[in-house]
Chain A
Amino acid sequence: MSVSRIVIVSVFVVVAVVFAVVGLLSRRENSKIPTLGDLSGFVMQYRVGKFPVGRVAVLGFWWWVGWHFFAR
């Protein structure tokens, strides 16, 4: 295994840990950090006129994630 591969994998592990830590901090009582669900909900409220841009973007992104990992 090359050094660069080890570094890349390590950074992905760090990203996962940071996601988990921020997620845990957001779930503390009276936390000022919104949960990831609340953040997604906030983004999904964004509209341009009557078009739900935020909703289409978030749901479309998640659809793409599933396609990318399970079908592509």
Chain B
Amino acid sequence: MEQQPQASAEAVRTWDRPLVMVPLFVLIAAVGGLFQSFTLSANLLVLAVGGTMIWLGLAGRGGHRPSPTRLTRAAAWWLLPVLLLAAVELYAFARHSIEDYPTLSLLADPLLEGYLARAACYFGWLVAFWGLIRR
């Protein structure tokens, strides 16, 4: 008698694979690229997509990649760019001058006005989000 293959907790869900997720993200990014900032459509899409991602992430619906349980002291190297970014953002924000001391989002606004750049950045945001919920 043949043995039936056992279902494994490690089994990849049918939808949790690049062949499914990448086209889905391309579609969402293509739509997201159409909506300009400060519009109801843009807000609703980000809230719906982000909310779904957070729900998937908290419910553990995405696959899980192992993460380290301890960090080496070398991990502190990441503080260098993070603190530098935080410092310049806070400084620019505190100066209240859009022209002379722009924050990162103000600098990104002209770039994100173009459809292709906006859709590409939207896609990157979704892929990174997916990477996070799989952790």
Q: Give the interface SS of chain B, mostly helix, strand, loop or mixed.
A: helix
Contact B47 A70 (CB under 8 A): no
27 contacts between A and B (CB under 8 A): A9-B107, A11-B88, A12-B85, A12-B107, A14-B84, A15-B88, A18-B80, A25-B77, A34-B71, A38-B68, A41-B66, A42-B69, A58-B132, A59-B54, A59-B129, A59-B132, A63-B50, A63-B53, A63-B54, A67-B43, A69-B108, A70-B37, A70-B45, A71-B38, A71-B43, A71-B46, A71-B47
> What is A's interface to B at a CB cutoff of 8 Å?
2, 4-5, 8-9, 11-12, 14-15, 18-19, 22, 25-26, 31-34, 36-42, 44-45, 52, 55-56, 58-60, 62-63, 65-72
